[in-house]
Structure 1
Amino acid sequence: MRAVLLFILGLKLTVAEIHSHGYIYTETKGIPGFPEFVSVGMVDGQQVNYFDTQIMKMIPRTDWVSGAVDADFWNRNAQIAIGAHQVYKNNIEVAKQRFNQTDGVHTFQKMYGCEWDDETGTTNGFSQFGYDGEDFLNLDFKDLRYISPVQQGVITTVKWNNDKAKIENQKHYFNTECIEWLKKYLQFGKSSLEKTVSPRVSLLQKDSSSSVTCHATGFYPSGVTITWMKNGEEHHEDVELGELLPNEDGTFQKTSTLTVSPDEWKNNKFSCLVEHKGINKEESEIRTNYGNSLPIGIIVGVVAAVVLLVGMAGIGYKIYQKKKKDFKPVSGSDDGSNSSAPA
């Protein structure tokens, strides 16, 4: 099976003062037992609502979110998700034709939403699409035009860029309605969204000759810095920083891997420094899974966090890197879009 099942980072929020709200749509084809369509609503990296085509209803993912919405919110947004499922199901078929593909495992996604800096008042929007784990299309908010990194997406960019009303509608949604919903959610979820949980840090190694991974997990909010230290100085060579991943309990995990020879490790003092919300944690003792020195629970815990993510949030891909209808904001809904597809 093609390697299209990477995992959702979520949304673009790495600075504590920048708040984010948005949705991730994931349509899948060819995965037995997995929902064809999943919709996840998020605020500051925390899931607030969820829909999939197996349960066929929108449900809350936090205790506080029900207080921020009206009684019909759940049914209204479930109907939006059902409509989006039909559009995105067609998206996959259109994309397959454009890429000259046959049946198999395929995914089509959209990630969109808004950001608000509570210190400067600056707002921003993001709207990105992906197919089979690769970037397909996104809206450049600076120039207000669609761009695509692949030839197969150019047909859509030309059509949508000629529809100025469509782009203005989206600009209005991301700059006003989405921000209003974000501020409302922040008000009702303040106690939960502003919590702080410090990371647990471990140095993990498969065997004496393999690379060493610094694993920080269980922290909230998502902003964290992982730095390797060598003899008391910052060390940046042969370092690979992993993606931020959500845990099942709403916290986050992240890794940084250092590749050095056993002799170099032995003859120098290496450590991993993790900085989070003003609290620093440093670890220098390696725990391995050879010699039975690493509890199996640590390994299982890391794997379980990823597996649970698939079950609750849908599969995805690394969509943010530095989805045959027009976009129309839906009144009374924080969703903002009931369609979007290659056309």
Structure 2
Amino acid sequence: MNVNMKGFILLVLGSLLHTASAVTHSLKYFYTASSEVPNFPEFVVVGMVDGVQMVHYDSNSQRAVPKQDWMNKAADPQYWERETGSFKGAQQSFKANIDTAKQRFNQSGGTGVHIFQYMYGCTWEDDSGVTEGHRQYGYDGEDFLVYDMKTFTWIAPKQQAEITLRKWNHDQSGLAFRQNYLTQECIEWLKKYLDYGKSTLMRTVPPSVSLLQKTPSSPVTCHATGFYPSGVMVSWQKDGQDHHEDVEYGEILPNDDGTFQKSSHLTVTPEDRKNSKYQCLVQVKGIEEDFIKVLPGQDGPNFVPIIGGLVALLVIVAVVVGVVIWKKKSKKGFVPASTSDTDSENSGKGAEKI
């Protein structure tokens, strides 16, 4: 093997190791206003770091509260008063937004469940330093307004949102505020939270992996649970090769203890099970060990009712119902926050009416 080939192989291996070790962190907020949803608050705010809930507010308690012990270190006592005031203001605006949306969609004369949503936040890749921002509004499960991070302006997927689009895109101070928050302030807060919560957010916990099946004719489920962080791959192999045919991949769901779970479902005939070797491969980011479960032949796994996914689904619905589907330490250290990390505290623009 010549020197150039060795250098090329080392370069490729280095690239693979770099990709495997890199971790993308996130800070996201979800606002959900609802009407006529029984036994659920009309307004809920959830703040999450790396998928872990750390702030909660709802219209029943009308208090912003920490959901992680380390949040009390990251914020001074006045922080929670400010956040409570900010969320109360957003609560009134979002209640009005539902009424406005119902009028624009010609629903004002009827009844029924309606959901108005807001998601914003940022991500930071701790090795490369690459950052991204996210901001969007949704109504009844569909995109309503989306913030374009390339132009730093709003896009309206729905014709009913064009009135708001024109108003917000002509507000230059509002656009500048949004750009600064997503590209600067949000990233700074994310790094602060990662520093204060590093004992929790930077830990690694291996998964427990099981093969489950409802009935002999049902798909076989590979269920991985109890792992942390949330970055995971749950895949199937057939005779030692990656297998994607007749495979359905589930979503990553939270557990009550702050860990995560994910499932992958394989549909396979008894004949294939007898003649081929199938195995489930689970890989968790930050953990070098692979976790493998081999699917037995005709005898198969025990027919265990699959309830874990349902329990987790109920948990996540209770946390962020109706949400639209989507390490480096400062040399000086971080001091308890004296301002808010949400984008609505200083300008009120996080609680805008459409």
Poorly superposed stretches of 4+, deviation over 6 Å:
none
Q: What residue in structure 2 maps to residue 226 of structure 1? A: 234
Bigger radius of gyration among the two: 2
Q: What is the identity percentage for the equivalent residue pairs of Structure 1 and Structure 2?
A: 50
Q: Residue by residue, what CA displacement relative to the aligned partner does 1:82-105 show, whole Å, maximum 9, x if unpaired?
A: 111111111111222222222211
Matches for 1:298-313 after TM superposition, within 5 Å? 299-311=306-318, 313=319
Quick one: distance in 1 between partners of 2:293 and 2:232?
A: 15
Instruction: Structure 2 unaligned segments of length 5 or more: list them.
Output: 1-19, 327-337
Offset of 1:79 from its aligned partner? 1.0
What is the TM-score when the length of structure 2 is the normalising length?
0.82
Please report how far the alpha carbon of residue 129 of structure 1 lies from its aligned counterpart in structure 2 after TM superposition: 1.6
Q: Give TM-score scaled by structure 1 length.
A: 0.84
- In the alignment, the residues of structure 2 paired with residue 318 and residue 214 of structure 1 have an alpha-carbon distance, to the nearest angstrom, of 27
Which of 287, 290, 293 is residue 283 of structure 1 equivalent to? 293
Q: 1:325 maps to what in 2?
A: none
Aligned to 2:56: 50
Query: How many Å apart are 1:16 and its aligned residue?
Result: 5.3
| 1:19-71 deviation digits (Å, cap 9, x = unpaired) | 21121111111112211111111111111111111111111111111011111
Task: Specify whether residues 15 and 142 from structure 1 end up closer, same or farther in structure 2 by C-alpha distance, changes over 3 A only.
Answer: farther
1:219-268, Cα deviation, whole Å (9 max, x unpaired): 11110012210111111122222222112211111122222333223322
Structure 1 residue aligned with 2:128: 120
Is residue 2:104 matched to residue 1:94? no
RMSD: 2.4
Report Cα offsets for 1:284-318 as digits up to 9, x if no partner. Answer: 247xxxx994456xx3443222223333x231244
Task: Name the CA distance, whole Å, in 2 between partners of 1:305 and 1:208.
Answer: 25
Residues paired across the two proteins, number = 314
Q: Which residue of 2 aligns with 1:332?
A: 339
Match of 2:38 in 1: 32
Q: Which residue is equivalent to 2:335?
A: none
Q: With a CA cutoff of 8 Å and minimum separation of 6, indicate the structure with the bigger relative contact order.
A: 1
Verify the 8 A CA contact 1:129 1:319 in the aligned structure 2: no
Name which of 162, 174, 181 aligns with 2:170.
162
| Superposition pairs of residues 207-218 of structure 1, within 5 angstroms | 207-218=215-226
Q: Which runs of 5+ in 1 are unaligned?
A: 1-13, 321-330
Distance 1:292 1:267, change over 3 A: closer
Higher helix fraction: Structure 1 or Structure 2?
A: 2
Task: Report if the CA contact (8 A) 2:155-2:165 is conserved.
Answer: yes
1:255 is aligned to 2:295: no
Partner of 1:85: 91
Correspondence for 1:9: none
Please give the secondary structure, in 2, of the residue aligned with 1:152.
Answer: helix
Q: Which amino acid aligns with 2:339?
A: G
Q: Structure 1 267/255 Cα, relative in aligned 2: closer, same or farther at 3 Å? A: same
SS at match of 1:28: strand
